[in-house]
Amino acid sequence: MKKYLRYLIPLVIFLALVGFLAAGLKLDPKEVPSPLIGKPAPGFALTRLDQPTLTIRREDLLGQVWMLNVWASWCTACREEHPVLLDFAKRRLVPVYGLNYKDQRSAGLRWLANYGDPYETSLFDPDGRVGIDWGVYGVPETFVIDRAGVVRYKHIGALTPEVIRERIEPLLRQLHG
Amino acid sequence: MAKFLLPLLLALAASLAYAGEAAPATADPVLEARMARITAELRCLVCQNQTIADSQSGLATDLRQQVREMLQRGDSEQQIIEFMTARYGDFVLYRPPVRSSTLLLWFGPALLLVASITTLVLVLRRRSKLADDQFEPDPEPPEAR
């Protein structure tokens, strides 16, 4: 019996190590949990991308569930995400606002004209200051904000139909509920 | 004389060229040094194995500017660190704070060291008490020539 144990212990340690490493492989180091979840959405006052004279503030959007999608014309992953977002916006489950991040007005508008505009409107954040307040570090990013103005969900990277179906839709049902 | 002068001039030229490249973004070298020290403690989220001080990414450049402005406003280092963790979480800190979720991270290596030394001492003690015939005999010494 003791003899078996001698060989069994290294095997058990080895298997535990393999288990940890396998779990580690599945984690994505790019996905950093946002400290904003459950906190009031950061304030902003930005002009509309298409209307430089109109300013939209955080307070203007209170009282409704809304979605913020951070995008830029220079962002290739946004191109990839765009058809998914267009589909989602067409279903009108929630108003989607864009945050045009570190972009040029003309380039942003051209991008929307070329590929379609899923947004209620886009907020223009040329120097990325509002992006910093929202903890944006990898465009595209998507936030869901509830009626009280609290951030409820954040997705980093391109939205996929799975993320929308499994994470966003159930959350919206709960928030609208 | 020219023998000494030429290398000297070249060295001078090189140092001037270097100074030209590394022009600080603000005129205040003290502020720039503080900014560099603070951002060297912060992780760049775009290229995660670089500090915000080192990274060339657009976000890191913006955050360095942000730190510069906060220092000019007279914010303390503590306030700057809080500003960053409020937005990006503890992940931005290269030295995460000690709290219940990071206890294993901080003290795990010491724990492993103590455990392995204890094991080693126990095994050696037990072996030292064993009689000689419990061990395999030493190999025969090579035959004397």
Q: The domain spanning residue B66 has which CATH number?
A: 1.10.8.640
Q: Are residues B117 and B74 in the same domain?
A: no
Closest CA to B47 of A174, A129, A137, A135: A137
The answer to the question of residue B65 being in a domain is yes
Position B9 pLDDT exceeds 70 = no
Give B126-138 pLDDT, tens digit per residue: 988 888 887 777 7
Any CB–CB contact under 8 A between A127 and chain B? yes
CB-nearest to B62 from A36, A128, A134 is A128
Range of the structural domain that residue B121 is part of: 98-129
Assess if residue B1 is contained within a domain: no
- Out of A34, A36, A137, the one facing B59 most closely (by C-beta) is A137
B68: exposed, middle or buried (Cβ count in 10 Å: 0-12, 13-18, 19+): buried
For chain A, positions 129-148, list CB contacts with chain B under 8 A: 132-135, 137-138
Interface residue A128 vs chain B (CB under 8 A): yes
Domain match, B75 and B113 both: no
Inter-residue contact A123 to A100 (CB < 8 Å)? yes
Instruction: From chain A, pick out residues whose CB is under 8 angstroms from the CB of B62.
Output: 127-128, 132
When divided into structural domains, chain B yields a total of: 2
> Does the predicted TM-score (pTM) go above 0.90?
no
Same domain, B71 and B125: no
Q: Please, what's the b/e burial string for A114-123 (b: 16 or more CB within 10 A of its CB; e: otherwise)?
A: eeebbbbbbb
**Do B37 and B58 fall within a single domain?**
yes
What CATH topology corresponds to A35-176?
Glutaredoxin (3.40.30)
Q: Tell me what pLDDT residue A3 has.
A: 75
A128 contacts in chain B (CB < 8 Å): 58-59, 62
B67 within domain boundaries: yes
What's the pLDDT score for residue B12?
Answer: 57
Q: Which amino acid is at A128?
A: G
Region at A38 (left for phi over 0; alpha for psi -120 to 50; beta for the rest): left
* Contact between B89 and A138 using a beta-carbon 8 Å cutoff: no
Q: Rounded to a whole number, what is the distance in Å from the CA of B140 to chain A's nearest CA?
A: 28
3-state secondary structure of A156: strand
Examine the domain organization and report whether B86 and B28 are in the same domain.
Answer: yes
Give the ipTM: 0.79
Residue B81 and residue B105 share a domain: no
Task: Flag whether B69 is in a domain.
Answer: yes
Residue B21 has pLDDT above 60, yes or no: no
Give A66-124 pLDDT, tens digit per residue: 999 999 999 999 999 999 999 999 999 999 999 999 999 999 999 999 999 999 999 99
Q: Which residue of A has its CA nearest to B91?
A: A32
Identify residues of B whose CB sits under 8 angstroms from chain A CBs: 45-46, 48, 58-59, 62-63, 66, 85-89, 91
Size of interface A-B (CB pairs under 8 A): 35
Question: Same domain, yes or no, for B50 and B114?
Answer: no
Q: Does B13 fall in a domain?
A: no
Residue A153, beta-bridge partner list? A144
Q: Which DSSP string corresponds to A13-46?
A: HHHHHHHHHHHHHHS-TT-PPPTTTTSBPPP-EE
Over residues B29-53, mean pLDDT: 89
Say whether both B108 and B81 belong to one domain.
Answer: no
Chain A residue whose CA is closest to B85: A35
pLDDT above 80 for B19: no
- Do B81 and B110 lie in a common domain? no
Based on the fold, state whether residues B90 and B30 are members of the same structural domain.
yes
In this structure, is residue B117 part of a structural domain?
yes
pLDDT, position A7? 85
Residues B64 and B107 in one domain: no
Same domain, B87 and B72: yes
Q: What is the pLDDT of residue B134?
A: 79
A137–B48: do the CB atoms touch at under 8 Å?
Answer: no
Closest chain B C-alpha to A90 CA, distance in angstroms: 31
Which residues does chain B have within 8 Å of residue A138's beta carbon, measured at their own beta carbons?
A: 45-46
Does residue B3 fall inside a structural domain? no
